[in-house]
Amino acid sequence: MKKTLIAATALSLFAGAAMAQSSVTLFGVVDADARYLKTTGKTLNLVASDGYNSSRLGVRGTEDLGGGLKAGFWLEHGFATDTGTLNDALRFWNRRSSVSLMGEFGEIRLGRGKTSVRLHIDDFDPFSTTGLGDGSKVYSTLGSNADTLNRSDNMVSYFLPSTFGGVYGSVDIAAGEGSNVAAAPTVSTTSGGKKLQSGRVGYKVGGLNVAGGFASTTGAAGAKYKLTSLGGAYDFGAAKLSLNYSETKFLDRKQQITELGLVAPLGQGQLLASYSDSKANSAADLLAGTGDAKLFAVGYVYNLSKRSAVYTTYSEIKNHGLGTFAVAGSPSGFVAAGQKSSGFDVGVRHSF
């Protein structure tokens, strides 16, 4: 009996130690809103997803390997709350699927995830490029068919450790894996952008955050689509103000986007507001769907608890020339060239 008790105790201690060295977490966000969209002569009422945060389901975990070294994984997919369908028919773990090694040196990550330059843009957009206030809605790929502006497949990324006195940053390299073979010297309308180099570096101490990001993606006909972004923000306590400037280039086409942002605590929640001014050069103005545009958005989030919130947002995009930029949720072809697009919503977000 004593031997049995000793063996059981030893096994219990061993299992406890093993569990202490590794962890697995199930997490997610469920977000839905009632949304009203309007453009010249047309309106649309719908129940939509991702009004404040992107709906997602994921599992992540880490294992302590000893000596300050850890291994980790992260699997996450997005879904539409209103229909229950996946956001990407081609990828189950469409938001992120990665494995990492982490230590005092930082983190080395392999797999699919957000690009470094998009992480930068998200940081300086009050709406985190989600919902009706999404500032990325006035960005154009300028006919390059680049599809790595938000996330990329086949990435190898390195993230700086958090021990550099407020300095942070990351770099990504994504393999094209044969997807960017140019068949002709002219711009293709079918080939997408896969081969990517991206990076960001910033300094964040107290209320101050300044950073810059860059990405180059091999787009149509093997030409480079380039995105450069510089931002700064300061949290005064009563409000956080931000300013971000981005420039996109492809061939002789160029676009410049300036975004002003405000986040202010208000009652048991926060007020969000942004103004974006997007300007296209003469070459980009000739491209269908691209032109000058202005985006204004204002919203309020009321926190019911640490995990649940209700929110409302109003936004509008004023297009000029051939521009057809549209607020989130607008179906393809909903906005005619040079017309205004606007939307209003009321929604609920719960995270777990």
Given a cut of 50, whether residue 184 has pLDDT beyond it is no
Q: pLDDT tens digit string along 31-89?
A: 999 999 999 989 999 999 999 999 999 999 999 999 999 999 999 999 999 999 999 99
Mean predicted confidence (pLDDT) in 283-304: 97
Q: pLDDT tens digit string along 85-114?
A: 999 999 999 999 999 999 999 999 999 999
Secondary structure E strands in the chain: 22-39, 42-49, 56-66, 69-78, 96-103, 106-114, 151-159, 167-174, 196-205, 208-218, 224-235, 240-250, 253-266, 269-280, 293-303, 308-319, 340-351
Q: Can you give the pTM of this predicted structure?
A: 0.89
Instruction: Report d(CA 49, CA 69) in Å as an integer.
Output: 38
Name the CATH architecture for the domain at 38-351.
Beta Barrel (2.40)
Judged by average pLDDT, the poorest of 3-12, 176-185, 292-301, 325-334 is: 3-12
- Give the start-to-end residue ranges of the domains of the chain: 38-351
Q: Identify whether the C-beta of residue 31 lies closer than 8 Å to the C-beta of residue 51.
A: yes
Q: Which SS3 state, helix, strand or coil, does residue 282 take? A: helix
Where is pLDDT greater, at 8 or 240?
240
Where is pLDDT greater, at 194 or 37?
37
Mean pLDDT of the chain: 91
Where is pLDDT greater, at 17 or 254?
254
Among residues of the chain, what percentage have pLDDT more than 70? 90
Mean predicted confidence (pLDDT) in 268-294: 97
Closest by CA to 152, choosing from 104, 109, 182, is 109
Q: Identify whether the C-beta of residue 325 lies closer than 8 Å to the C-beta of residue 339.
A: no
Residue 272 has a pLDDT of 98
Instruction: Report d(CA 278, CA 290) in Å as an integer.
Output: 10
Residue 178 has a pLDDT of 65
> What DSSP line would sit under 172-188, residue for residue?
EEE--TT----SSSSPP
Q: Which SS3 state, helix, strand or coil, does residue 231 take? A: strand
Alpha helices in the chain (DSSP H): 2-21, 116-123, 282-285
Mean predicted confidence (pLDDT) in 121-134: 98
Mean predicted confidence (pLDDT) in 211-215: 98
